[in-house]
């Protein structure tokens, strides 16, 4: 995030989406990891009702932003490979800013409604949530009154943040595949494929564990510990690996890291600046 912010050469539409992904990763981790630390190191497994609702909102909100950001990056790759001559006219900084703004508003609306519906429930049974955070399903299933609206909203949210983005990403890569087949030179085709590898790795790391958990949960009873372990890995490992993958697999960011390091080193020793990375 710092490199993208500091380097003017990275102030492009693509890196607006990358910055948004990194920001949602950081905030998503911050929404869950402090509670992990409190539970496992200090053996404090209690949370107030208001804090529980806030935790539910922010965990799902930033998870949805991660999913939508991956979809936006798939759109960026689709336009870049299928319509290369029109890329800079279609994917502009202003259009990308609008797209990012829309996904933020959509995520806020979805999860404000989701959490708001929980407040209408009465809890007269157990108050033990079988999850590592205030997960929506384990929470609303503790209620004594009708939870049909909560179930329907959970289905809508899962479809909106997981199934629909994943299907659109798959569709975009089908289109990219056909576009690659039309490239006559093998070297150009390999170069185009390399621009997609970082994104494909992030998509696999994010969607596969979550998709498997929710598919199994809808069809049969899932052991709470298995769900917890899978979800914990999903919400901690991808945010940790995303910046590493984008750094190692994206030459632009890697080069800017090197130039920033040289610039800081030069400023420290001589006080003289260093040219921008190209």
Per residue in 195-216, pLDDT (tens digit) is 788 788 888 888 887 777 666 6
Q: Is the dihedral of CA 112, 115, 117, 119 positive or negative?
A: negative
The pLDDT, as a whole number, for residue 241 is 79
Contact status, residue 192 vs residue 81, Cβ threshold 8 Å? yes
Domains of the chain: 12-250 (1.20.1070.10)
pTM, 2 dp? 0.84
How far apart CA 222 and CA 213 sit, in angstroms, is 8
Residues of the chain with pLDDT under 70: 213-225, 227-228, 231, 247-250, 267-278
How far apart CA 62 and CA 108 sit, in angstroms, is 10
The pLDDT, as a whole number, for residue 248 is 66
Q: How far is CA 194 from the centre of its chain?
A: 21
Cα three-residue angle 43-35-69, rounded to 5 degrees: 155
How far apart CA 233 and CA 230 sit, in angstroms, is 5
The pLDDT, as a whole number, for residue 85 is 86
The pLDDT, as a whole number, for residue 46 is 85
> Which residues are CB-contacts of 224 (< 8 A; sequence separation ≥ 6)?
130, 131, 138
How far apart CA 136 and CA 53 sit, in angstroms, is 9
């Amino acid at each position: 995030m710092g490199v993208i912010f500091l380097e003017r050469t990275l102030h492009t539409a693509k890196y607006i989406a990358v910055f948004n992904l990194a920001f949602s990763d950081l905030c998503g981790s911050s929404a869950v990891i402090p509670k992990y630390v409190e539970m496992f190191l200090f053996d404090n497994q209690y949370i107030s009702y208001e804090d529980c609702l806030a935790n539910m909102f922010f965990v799902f909100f930033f998870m949805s932003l991660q999913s939508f950001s991956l979809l936006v990056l798939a759109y960026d790759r689709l336009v870049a490979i299928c319509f290369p001559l029109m890329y800079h006219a279609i994917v502009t900084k202003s259009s990308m800013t609008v797209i990012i703004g829309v996904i933020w508003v959509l995520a806020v609306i979805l999860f404000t409604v989701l959490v708001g519906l929980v407040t209408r429930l009465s809890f007269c049974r157990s108050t033990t949530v079988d999850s590592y955070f205030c997960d929506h399903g384990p929470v609303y299933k503790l209620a004594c009154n009708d939870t049909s609206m909560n179930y329907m909203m959970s289905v809508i949210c899962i479809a909106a943040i997981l199934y629909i983005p994943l299907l659109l990403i798959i569709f975009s890569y089908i289109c990219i595949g056909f576009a690659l087949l039309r490239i006559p030179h093998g070297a150009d085709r390999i170069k185009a494929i390399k621009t997609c590898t970082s994104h494909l790795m992030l998509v696999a790391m994010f969607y596969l564990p979550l998709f498997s958990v929710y598919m199994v949960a809808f069809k049969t009873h899932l052991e709470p510990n298995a769900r917890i372990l899978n979800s914990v890995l999903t919400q901690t490992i991808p945010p940790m690996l995303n910046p590493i993958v984008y750094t190692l697999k994206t030459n632009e960011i890697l080069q800017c890291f090197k130039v920033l390091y040289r610039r800081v080193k030069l400023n420290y020793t001589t006080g003289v600046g260093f040219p921008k990375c190209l």
